Amino acid sequence: MLASFRVLIVLCLLFSSSTGAAGEVSGTLDGLLEFLGKKEHMEILNGSLGSEQCHLVSHSVERVLASHREELFCKNPVKAICREYTKSEEFSKSAIKKRVLGELSKKEREYVEATFDSPLELLRPKNPSSFLSYLKKVDNQIAELDPSIDLDQIMKDVINSMTRVIQSESSPELKAVASLISDKLSRQKVYSASKFFEEPSTSKILIQNVCGYDGLEFTNASISQQSNVDGLLICPSMILKAIRSGHPKEFLFGLIAHEVGHQLESISGRSFSSMYECVSKHHESILKSMTDDASIEKAAKAYMTEIWADQWTVRATEEFGKTILDSEESRKVTMWTLISHCDDAKKKKFSSGDNKHPNDYYRLGYTAGKSKYLRSLFGCTPIPQSEAPGCGFSGEER
Ligand SMILES: [Zn+2]
């Protein structure tokens, strides 16, 4: 693989008239992959090549990169999955906010800006409609960046995949509540901020609690937190982050599966405790090393709701991947659905999580990276006996 890669680089250098781009293409294979993995660099190279060579080179480089990433999944899932992830602020929240406020009438803008300082302002009679008009414009601005994102369709894919999880799971605890879970799944809805605000039965204040007083500050998503509303709220900034990842649909699939997993906690409590036993037995010291909160006595317990929700993302991802018959495509999509977990991938391996979510190295390395199914999909060797195994819903090693 290394040889073919060198050929491609030579080709790029030969045809490249842009010394700025070519000059940076040097150093280790890892550095080269890092460089070429960035879209803008590929565009620079493409722009400086003849059209046919350009297409051939970029296509071949993409294939080499993809196969390198697949190999890397076995050794270092975080690096493989998060490699393409970029935190570039190409679409800035403040620019969107400024543009949207500029489109409101003076009165509306005054009402909306008052709620940014004090969320209780939202309860004043004239504020809700102004705030809704603001949120709609924010959502529209973001939708224009990628009109192909269809949240309802992604939710359908998640529900179908999670239904297949229930059908294929051998876990006796999950089987016992299968019909309750199916029922809950069928009621799930996904809301953008403005849709959530418009729905009569939702808590309006939740938008500001979850997404920030201006609706844009926090890159977040949440379940409705109301027993009478089966659904989730995806904040505008989270959709923006999904777009920036380069694979918004898969990113949102992984994120929505995680949130729907939280929705199922209340009816799957028994399997939750079986899973906890496995996690605390095998992963307690790893999880403990991630927290800087000395008061956390049992890290496995503190992180368990998130580990449980992540397990749903991984299982839904596995089932979703199985529906894609082309195995190369299936491997790609599988990687992309996990990128919503790439939050602190650039930090060092044992960086702490946020005392609620384990860090990426646990979320991707243990929850996804130990999955026997994913390991066989990526052609990895079995996990050595000496390494901690992954933990399934019933506490089974998986
Ligand atoms: Zn969560």
Q: What is the value of pTM for the model shown?
A: 0.83
What is the pLDDT at residue 48? Answer: 62
Higher pLDDT, 228 or 66: 228
- Residues whose CB falls within 8 Å of the CB of residue 37, separated by 6 or more in sequence, listed in order: 65, 83, 84
Q: How far is CA 354 from CA 263, 303, 343, in A?
A: 21, 10, 11
Residues 6+ apart with CB under 8 A from 148: 249
Rounded to an integer, what distance in angstroms lies between the CA atom of residue 184 and that of residue 171? 18
pLDDT > 60? residue 15? no
**Cα 69 to ligand 1 centroid, rounded to whole Å:** 27
**For residue 39, what pLDDT is reported?**
56
Q: Contact 269/246 with Cβ under 8 angstroms?
A: no
Reply yes or no on whether the pLDDT at 27 is more than 90.
no
- Residue 6 C-alpha to ligand 1 middle, in angstroms? 42
Rounded to an integer, the average pLDDT of 199-204 is: 90
What average pLDDT does this structure show over 155-176? 91
Q: How many angstroms is it from 27 CA to the middle of ligand 1?
A: 39
pLDDT tens readout for residues 99-108: 999 999 999 9
Residue type, 64: V
Average pLDDT over residues 58-73: 73
C-alpha 259 to ligand 1 mean position (Å): 6
**How far is the centre of ligand 1, averaged over its atoms, from the C-alpha of 375 (Å)?**
24
pLDDT band at 4 (very low <50, low <70, confident <90, very high): very low
Quick check: 49 and 16 in contact, CB under 8 A? yes
Q: Please give the distance, rounded to the nearest whole angstrom, from the Cα atom of residue 222 to the centre of ligand 1.
A: 8
CA distance 356 to 282: 19
Kindly give the distance from the C-alpha atom of residue 384 to the centroid of ligand 1, in angstroms, as a whole number: 30
Question: For residue range 247-262, what is the model confidence (pLDDT) as tens digits?
Answer: 999 999 999 999 999 9
207: pLDDT strictly greater than 60: yes
**CA of residue 334 to ligand 1 center, whole Å:** 19
Answer whether residue 149 shows pLDDT above 80: yes
Q: How far is the CA of 308 from the centre of ligand 1 (A)?
A: 9
Distance CA 158, CA 140 (A): 24
Q: How far is the CA of 309 from the centre of ligand 1 (A)?
A: 6
Ligand 1 mean position to 264 CA, how many Å?
A: 12
Instruction: Identify the residue with better confidence: 353 or 371.
Output: 371
Please tell me the distance between residue 319's alpha carbon and the centre of ligand 1 in angstroms: 20
Q: How much is the pLDDT for 89?
A: 53
Give the rounded distance of the alpha carbon of 121 from its chain centre.
33
What's the maximum distance between 2 C-alpha atoms anywhere in the chain?
69
What is residue 44's predicted lDDT score, i.e. its pLDDT? 57
**Mean pLDDT taken over the chain:** 82
> 359 with 347: CB under 8 angstroms?
yes
Percentage of residues of the chain with pLDDT beyond 70: 78
Residue at 153: amino acid letter: Q
Asked if pLDDT for residue 26 goes beyond 50, the answer is no
Which pLDDT score, from 0 to 100, does residue 23 have?
33
Q: How far does residue 221's CA lie from ligand 1's centre (Å)?
A: 8
- Gap from CA of 307 to ligand 1 centroid (Å): 8
**Whether residue 1 has pLDDT greater than 50:** no
State the distance from the centre of ligand 1 to the C-alpha of 388, rounded, in angstroms. 23
Nearest-angstrom CA–CA distance, 340 and 89: 16
3-state SS assignment for residue 24: helix
143, 148, 154, 157 alpha-carbon torsion, rounded to 10°: 170
Distances (CA, A) of 137 to 40, 122, 176: 29, 17, 45
Q: Please give the distance, rounded to the nearest whole angstrom, from the Cα atom of residue 223 to the centre of ligand 1.
A: 9
Distance CA 198, CA 369 (A): 40
CA of 255 to the centre of ligand 1 (A): 9
Q: Tokens 């979850």 sit at which residue?
A: 210
How far does residue 258's CA lie from ligand 1's centre (Å)? 6
* Partners of 97 in the β-ladder: none
Residue 211 Cα to ligand 1 middle (Å): 15
Say which range, 151-160, 342-351, 357-366, has the weakest mean pLDDT: 342-351
Separation of 367 CA from ligand 1 center, angstroms? 14
Cα gap 329→131, rounded to integer Å: 42
pLDDT digits (tens, 9 = 90+) for 263-313: 998 887 666 788 899 999 999 998 888 877 778 888 888 899 999 999 999
How many CA atoms, within 13 angstroms, populate the side-chain half-sphere of residue 30? 5
Ligand 1: distance of its center to the CA of 363 in Å? 11
Q: What is the structure's pLDDT at 53?
A: 64
**What is the rounded radius of gyration, in angstroms, for the C-alpha atoms of the chain?**
23
Q: How far is the CA of 234 from the centre of ligand 1 (A)?
A: 12
Distance from the alpha carbon of residue 306 to the mean position of ligand 1, in angstroms = 5
The answer to whether residues 183 and 209 touch, using CB atoms and an 8 Å cutoff, is no
Per-residue pLDDT for 93 more than 50? Answer: yes
Buried b (16+ CB within 10 A) or exposed e, 222-246: bbbeeeebbbbbbbbbbbbbbbbbe
Lowest mean pLDDT among 33-47, 203-217, 271-285, 293-307: 33-47
At 288 the pLDDT is 87
